[in-house]
Structure 1
Amino acid sequence: MSVETKALLKSEEIKPKIGSRVLNGKEDLLSGDIAGEIRELLEARGVLVFPKIGFTSEEQVAFTKTLGTFAPEQAGGDEEITKITLDVKENPSSAEYLKGSLYWHIDGTRNDVPILASLLTCIKPSPKGTGNTGFANTYSAFEDLPEEKKAEYEQYRVVHGPWASLFYYEPEPSLAKLQAYAGIGEQELPLVWKHKSGRKSLVIGCTAAQVVGKSALESAMIIHGLRDWATGPNFTYSHEWEVGDLVMWDNTGTMHRAEPYDPSCGRMMHRTKLEGEEAFVYA
C-alpha cells in the first residue's frame, strides 16, 4: 500500500536580512502543499528566488493562484501574463511608463490596498552585467533604525504620486505630460506602515513627493535619507537573471527596481501578481 507524503519546503538564505532561494521542484510548487510555508517565508525574507524553475505561462498563473487571489493587470481583466520590457516594439502602450521602474519603488502607492506580491519569470535576460532587479527590505530597514528615529518617523505622512517618479528620468517634462501623470492620482500615506502582523515597514521610493507639514528641502532630506538607509548593502539583494528564473517579492515590505539595460536588447519578463490583503492604514 502506497503512502502519500506531503512536500516539505526546502530553502536557503541568500543574505542575512533579505532573500531566500526555494529549492523545491515544479511538482511541489504546483501542488499547493507548501503554499502556506512559502507565504510565511516571503514575509520573513522579502524576496524568494526559484532558480531556473522554468514555468510556462500557464504554470506561473497556476502557481500564483496557490498563494492567494490572482490579480489581473486591469480591474475586471483576463487572467493573463503581463509582459515587462522597455522595448517599445513589444510593449508600446506602457514602455514609457515603465521607465519609472528603474528607480526604487513600491507598487500601488496610489491605491488603498496595494498588491501583496509580484512574481517575475525571466524569458530573456539582458546581457550579463545589466538588467538585474534590485530589492530592498523595508521591514528590516525600519527595524534596524535607532529607537528615537523610529518614533519620529512614525508621526509622518507622505504624499505619493506617479507624477513624482517622472522627474527621476525626465527632469524637465512638458506640462502636458506632467498633467497626464498627475491624472493617475496621488495619495497621502503613512511613512511607517503598521501592519496587522505587528511588524512595521517604510513606505518610500520614487513616488514619494513630500512629507506633510515639511518644506520641500526637509521632505527631501527625510525621504532620500531613508532611501539611502534602506537601500544600503545590509538590506538589499540584486538578482542577476537567467532564463527560467522566477523571483517573487513581498510588495508590502520590499522596494524594487530594474537596474539599467539597453531597451533594445530584448530583455523580457513575464509578471503575475497577488491581490492585496491589507490596506496601508487599517482600523
Structure 2
Amino acid sequence: MATALSPARTRLVQEEIKPVIGTRILNTKEELLAGDLGPEIRELLEQRGVLVFPRINFNDEEQIAFTKTLGTFAPELQDGTDHKIHKITLDVKENPQSAEYLKGSLYWHIDGTMNDTPILASLLSCKVPATWGGNTGFCNTYAAYEALTDEQKAEYETMRVVHSVWATVFYYEPEPSLAKLKGMQRIGENELPLVWNHRSGRKSLVLGCTAHRVVGVEPMKSAEVLVGLREWATGEQFSYSHEWSVGDLVIWDNTGTMHRAEKYDPACNRMMHRTKLQGEEPFEE
C-alpha cells in the first residue's frame, strides 16, 4: 500500500548583508504569504536587526497579510479609525498630519521612546524612490552594546535617560518658535534605561535624537555620553544603509536597532508604505 508523502517544508532562502546586521530574504511572494516562514523570520529578525526582501512588490493588502504572519498587527493611530497602511512622505497632500513630524526621521532614532512599550517592528515598502539620496540607515544596538568593554558596560548599566520629542525639533529647526516648542513639549517626557535588559537575556542601547539628557549627570558629561554612544552604535561595523528600489520591503527590529531616513530632495514625492507589529516587551518590567 502506497504511503502519502507529506509536502516538503518551505526553506527560508537568505544571504547575509554584513557580519552583524542585515540579511536578504529571497523567497517568493507566495512562500512568504503562506505564513509557514513567519516564526523563522521573526527569530532571524531578532538576530540580524534588518531583513530585506528585494523587489518583492507586495501591494497594500499583501503587505498587511504578510505583517500578520509575523505577530500582532499594530494600527497606525489609536483613534478608533482603521489606518492599516501609513504613507511615509513629505508631501503634505498625501500626509497632511505628519509631514512636518517626519522631518525628525532624518536623525537616528527608535520609534516609541515616549511609550512604555515600543512597537516590535516596522515594515516599509518602496512605492516611489527619491530622485537622489533617500536611503534608510540602520544600526544594530544589540551588537553595539555587546562590543563595549566590560568597564563601559558597568558604567552605562545604571544610567537613565530622559527622552522627549521636543528635543528633536532642534535637529532640523535650530530656532523654533515658542508656539512650536510648547506644542512639542505637551507630548511630555519619558525616563528610560540607557541599557535595555531584554527578556531574552540580551541587552541593547536605547539612544537616538529623543535622548535629551542623562539623569543626575552634569550637562557636558551627559552630552558626551549620548553623542559618544550614538557615534559608536552608528559606526560602520554596526550599520547598514539600504538603497531603495521600487518594490523593496524592509523589516527592522525596533527593539534592537536605530534607523533614519538619509537626506533627499523634499520635493521629489518619495513614497513609502508602512505597517507595524505591536510591541510585546516594555523597556523595563
Deviations 1:231-253 (A, max 9, x none): 00000000000000000000000
Greater shift in the superposed pair: 70-79 or 187-196:
70-79
> 1 CA distance for matches of 2:92 and 2:225?
35
In the TM superposition, residue 89 of structure 1 has moved relative to its aligned partner by: 2.4
Within the candidate set 91, 94, 102, 2:95 is matched to 91
In the TM superposition, residue 90 of structure 1 has moved relative to its aligned partner by: 1.8
> 2 CA distance for matches of 1:87 and 1:217?
38
Greater shift in the superposed pair: 72-81 or 147-156:
72-81
Q: Percent identity?
A: 69
> 2 CA distance for matches of 1:79 and 1:125?
22
Q: Is 1:220 paired with 2:212?
A: no
Report the residue type matching 2:20 in the other structure.
K
Q: Is 1:119 paired with 2:123?
A: yes
> 2 CA distance for matches of 1:118 and 1:105?
13
Q: 1:66 to 1:184 in 2, by over 3 A?
A: same
Within the candidate set 81, 84, 91, 1:80 is matched to 84
Q: Normalised by the size of structure 1, how large is the TM-score?
A: 0.97
Within 5 Å, give how 1:196-211 maps onto structure 2. 196-211=199-214
Q: Is 1:139 paired with 2:135?
A: no
Q: Is 1:30 paired with 2:36?
A: no
In the TM superposition, residue 175 of structure 1 has moved relative to its aligned partner by: 1.1
Query: What residue in structure 1 maps to residue 55 of structure 2?
Result: 52
Query: What residue in structure 1 maps to residue 238 of structure 2?
Result: 235
> 2 CA distance for matches of 1:185 and 1:77?
24
> 2 CA distance for matches of 1:146 and 1:193?
17
Q: Is 1:156 paired with 2:135?
A: no
- SS of aligned partner of 2:22: strand
In the TM superposition, residue 8 of structure 1 has moved relative to its aligned partner by: 1.3
> 2 CA distance for matches of 1:150 and 1:226?
11
> 2 CA distance for matches of 1:254 and 1:64?
19
Q: How many residues align?
A: 281
Q: Residues 77 and 83 of structure 2 are in contact (CA less than 8 Å); yes or no, is this contact kept in structure 1?
A: no
> 2 CA distance for matches of 1:19 and 1:127?
24
Q: What RMSD, in angstroms, separates the aligned Cα atoms of the two structures?
A: 1.0
Report the residue type matching 1:226 in the other structure.
L
Report the residue type matching 1:126 in the other structure.
A
In the TM superposition, residue 266 of structure 1 has moved relative to its aligned partner by: 1.2
Deviations 1:156-195 (A, max 9, x none): 0000011111110011111111111111121000000000
- SS of aligned partner of 1:18: coil
Within 5 Å, give how 1:6-25 maps onto structure 2. 6-25=9-28
> 2 CA distance for matches of 1:148 and 1:44?
25
Q: Which runs of 5+ in 1 are unaligned?
A: none
Within the candidate set 89, 103, 106, 1:102 is matched to 106
Query: What residue in structure 1 maps to residue 65 of structure 2?
Result: 62
Q: Residues 113 and 190 of structure 2 are in contact (CA less than 8 Å); yes or no, is this contact kept in structure 1?
A: yes
> 2 CA distance for matches of 1:183 and 1:37?
41
Report the residue type matching 2:41 in the other structure.
I
Query: What residue in structure 2 maps to residue 195 of structure 1?
Result: 198
In the TM superposition, residue 6 of structure 1 has moved relative to its aligned partner by: 2.1
Q: Which runs of 5+ in 2 are unaligned?
A: none
- SS of aligned partner of 2:250: strand
> 2 CA distance for matches of 1:131 and 1:169?
16
In the TM superposition, residue 3 of structure 1 has moved relative to its aligned partner by: 4.1
